[in-house]
Amino acid sequence: MNIDIVMPENNEAELLETGEKLGFKELIFLYDDIKKQVPKLVSKKLKIHYAFLAKNKQEVDKAKRRYDYIFASAQRGFFEHKKIKYLINAESSEKIDFLYQRRAGLDDIMCRIAKEKNKIIVFNLGLAKEDRYTLPRMMQNAKLCRKYKIKTLIATLATNPLEMRAPKDIGGFARIIKLM
């Protein structure tokens, strides 16, 4: 899929231009402030969607009227919410791993719920280079997603145009964590 998710900081036009140059077909602008006025952009090459990153369940109802998609962090409560379609950053746990087990964020129960409710797990490409624990956690989560046949998406979640990656690079990362 030639989709990327970006988190603009008043640089929507630059991200849109870079997305066109990189060859994406769809671009999702993800905002985390519900009070922020969203600029409506038009592109001939890209299909543009707007999304909101919900921090709690109360923000979901307010955001559903203004945004195309609702994203949330991969916590148990958000897996069961009807209006949330995308779950991100499952592997970004602050706690250290156990001696013989990773704290990857997803487990069997969450995966069953995600499959039943048609959720999409988003892997953040930007997190992969943060620390040495994130990539193995992503690989473990990818293994669970394959096992339960959950829809997945890999995105850069770039805040500036230089953080965006080409669709082939994203596909290569998908092969590394064994999603393809």
Range of the domain at 144: 3-176
pLDDT band at 1 (very low <50, low <70, confident <90, very high): low
Q: pLDDT digit string (tens) for 36-86? A: 888 888 888 999 999 999 999 889 988 988 899 999 999 989 999 999 999
Predicted pLDDT at 100? 64
CA angle 55, 105, 139 (to 5 degrees): 125
Residue 106's nearest CA partner among 121, 118, 95, 94 is 121
Predicted pLDDT at 122? 96
Structurally, the chain folds into a number of domains equal to 1
- The strand pair at 69-73 and 47-54 is best described as parallel
Structure tokens at 145: 């997603």
Under 8 Å between Cβ of 62 and 34: yes
Q: pLDDT digit string (tens) for 123-175? A: 999 888 878 888 988 999 999 999 999 999 999 999 999 999 999 999 999 99
Give 3-state DSSP helix, strand, coil % of the chain, rounded to 5. Answer: 35, 20, 45
Q: pLDDT digit string (tens) for 18-33? A: 999 999 999 999 999 9
pLDDT score of 96 more than 80: no
Average of pLDDT values for 83-105?
81
CATH of the domain at 141: 3.20.20.140
Return all residues near 112 (Cβ < 8 A) that are at least 6 apart.
148
